[in-house]
Amino acid sequence: MSRSLRFLLTLLLLAIPWTAPAQTTTASIGGVVRDASGATVAGTKVTALNLLTSFSRTTTADDSGGYLITNLPIGDYAVTGEKDGFQRYTQAGITLVVGQNARVDLQLQIGSITEDVNVTIEIPDVDTRSATVGEVVDRVRIQELPLNGRNTMELAAVVPGVISVSAPAIVTNARSGPQLVVAGGRDTSNEYRFDGTSHKNLTQNTALNLPAPDALQEFRVVTSNVSAEYGRYTGGTVIAVTRAGTNEYHGTAWEYFRNDKLNGTNYFATTKPDLNQNQYGFTLGGPFVRNRSFFFGSYQGVQVKQTRLFATATPPTAELRAGNFTNAARQPLDPLTRLPFPNNTIPSSRFDPVAVEVMNRYVPLPNASGGRWSELVSQPTNGNQYLGRFDYNISASNIANIRYFRDSTELFTQNGNISPYAPNRRALTVDNWALQDTHTFSQTLLNEFRLGVNRVDSKVFVLEDTQLSDLGANFPGVITPQLPTIGVTGFFNLATQDVFGEDGGIYQISNVLRWFRGRHSLSVGGEFEWTQMFNRGSSANQGVFSFDGHATGNAFADFLLGKPLSLDQASPYER
């Protein structure tokens, strides 16, 4: 063998993780088998049995009495040790959580293998196999801790090393999902895995909402020293796992209601904004065939009927709308002469007809103190989440599961501080698939195969097709018909939302081969990820007009005369 080839092989071996990875969606059990005198018992048959599904995996202790069983689906387990000349020893009360390396030492007593010793003991929550730092938010905390909005991601705040969490109850834009700051890193430097599949928006690497708390088993936040599988991110790693069916049928139903009865009134409002929020749904799980195949499904619907306070506009009075600026704080100058208008009044013959049409159609009179316009504007939000999971124990050596999740939300809203003007609909649809197959070739060789798909479709639609040319303007080039943004400094802002569509996809295939010998393991594998992102938008294509008083000294007078400070219009983009 040449020196260069030996050098390459050495580098390869150094790159291989030599311990059981801790960042998978499964867990492991390991320990040492001893007799009553404390001597190790080699050759002991050790079996880990899932008490909820009857799935089991077996290994044999090595010459030092050590054993290791990896890739165990999370749940409640019992570990049994069997050896000729010793009583059968079973230790129950073992609950595995995602990414856990549980230490379970067995102590065999001399006797017949037909005699049983059953022990129930709580295993210590100390990981002596992995150097990763993190914490699991388990099922108990997900169920018991209060959540305003029922976004499970909020509970990441209880994990040491998580600096801040932003977790909106409903996400209607792919770029505004949950954000975590972990161990001083940026909120865009984290990795999010949902049943092993990436679950994020590619544009800014922000998270997407997880299923309802009732459908989530647990999630783990790794804050540092991540394994090689997820080591390409400088922030934290969030690994979430859904609930699965068991040999017992189980289900839940819920309805959470929130309204404005105990809310306070905004200082600038004459009444409280309306709020009626309903979150409702159900879960159902159980066996298709006992000990063989299992199902789990959930649904959550969200309806938020609320109003938003618009109270920052100071629209022109009837006097100003007629061109009379006698009582205005700043009298305008005629841009043609640089002298005041006669009687501080702009002749109606000088009015820009398009400005007059916009004003009469969209700009109301003041209706509140201080010359303000105040109104509660409807802003409803709707959402639906669907989740389905199927687990199949194909054989004693082969298990598989597939899971599908869909989250569809929409928000009806508008920009600016005058309504109604250019209302829009923001919609987000997330589809996430995860498939896993684990095959045990022997007690010392195991293979884990995964497929994952994450699709994100985020769009903004205009709900009114009126454009400036419909009001008499010569304003070509608007591809998607919509009104422009018109800002009049100190008076009002008629604002629109850029129309855009953002379609992204993450397609993943990975395979890991694991070899075991006693308490030692070697894992080698890889992941191929294909990402795609397609953006189409009309940023400023509808036109952005700014009036600030540069022509007359009064911004509204500039508007009446049709003399903007600037006009921005851009071509639509595709990238």
Tens of each residue's pLDDT in the chain, 575 residues: 444 444 444 444 444 433 344 446 888 888 899 988 888 899 999 999 999 888 899 998 888 888 988 889 988 999 999 988 888 899 888 888 888 888 899 989 888 766 667 776 666 665 656 667 778 888 889 988 888 888 999 999 989 989 989 888 888 888 888 988 988 888 888 899 999 999 999 888 889 999 999 999 999 898 887 777 766 777 888 999 999 999 999 999 999 998 888 777 777 666 778 888 999 999 999 999 999 999 999 999 999 999 988 989 999 999 999 999 999 989 999 999 999 999 999 999 999 999 999 999 999 999 988 899 999 899 999 999 999 999 999 988 899 999 999 999 999 999 999 999 999 999 999 999 999 999 988 888 889 999 999 999 999 988 988 999 999 999 887 888 889 999 999 999 999 988 888 899 999 999 999 887 776 778 888 899 999 998 887 777 888 999 999 999 999 999 999 999 999 988 876 66
Half-sphere exposure of 260 (CA within 13 A, CB side): 14
pLDDT of residue 269: 66
Our separate counts of H helices and E strands in the chain read 5, 33
pLDDT of residue 121: 65
Cα torsion 286, 288, 291, 297: sign: negative
Q: Which residue segments constitute the domains of the chain, with CATH numbers given?
A: 19-120 (2.60.40.10), 133-242 (2.170.130.10), 264-277+307-312+375-387+414-428+442-574 (no CATH)
For the segment 306-326, what is each residue's pLDDT rounded down to a tens digit? 998 898 999 999 999 999 999
Picking from 316, 364, 318, the residue whose alpha carbon sits closest to that of residue 559 is: 316
Q: How many angstroms separate the CA atoms of 31 and 99, rounded?
A: 16
Strands 27-35 and 106-108: parallel
Beta bridge partners, 110, equal 86
Q: How many angstroms separate the CA atoms of 147 and 164, rounded?
A: 16
Supply the DSSP symbol for 25: S
Q: How many angstroms separate the CA atoms of 383 and 120, rounded?
A: 44
Alpha-carbon Rg for the chain in angstroms:
32
Q: How many angstroms separate the CA atoms of 76 and 93, rounded?
A: 7
pTM (2 d.p.): 0.84
For the segment 472-523, what is each residue's pLDDT rounded down to a tens digit? 999 887 888 889 999 999 999 999 988 888 899 999 999 999 887 776 778 8
Cα torsion 158, 160, 161, 163: sign: positive
Those residues whose C-beta lies under 8 Å from the C-beta of residue 498, and which sit 6 or more positions away, are 460, 537, 538, 539, 540, 541
Contacts 24+ apart (CB under 8 A), 158-166: 159/134, 159/135, 159/221, 159/223, 160/135, 160/223, 161/133, 161/134, 161/221, 161/223, 161/224, 161/236, 162/221, 162/223, 162/236
Beta bridge partners, 196, equal none
Residue type, 336: L
Token code pair at residue 116: 């049983």
Q: How far is CA 231 from the centre of its chain?
A: 20
Residue 369 CB neighbour total at 10 angstroms: 9
Token code pair at residue 254: 């819920």
Burial class (CB in 10 A: 0-12, 13-18, 19+), 355: buried
Q: How many angstroms separate the CA atoms of 72 and 77, rounded?
A: 10
pLDDT of residue 380: 94
Those residues whose C-beta lies under 8 Å from the C-beta of residue 547, and which sit 6 or more positions away, are 486, 487, 488, 489, 555, 556, 558, 559, 563, 564, 565
pLDDT of residue 1: 46
pLDDT of residue 13: 40
Q: How many angstroms separate the CA atoms of 357 and 485, rounded?
A: 15
Q: What are phi and psi of 274, to 5 degrees?
A: -70, 145
Residue for token pair 């020893």: 89
Q: What are phi and psi of 232, to 5 degrees?
A: -95, 10
Q: How many angstroms separate the CA atoms of 239 and 231, rounded?
A: 13
Contact present, 316 and 416 (Cβ < 8 Å): no
3-state SS track over 420-467: CCCCEEEEEEEEEEEEEEEEEEECCEEEEEEEEEEEEEEEEEECCCCC
Q: What are phi and psi of 269, to 5 degrees?
A: -105, 155
Q: How many angstroms separate the CA atoms of 271 and 264, rounded?
A: 9
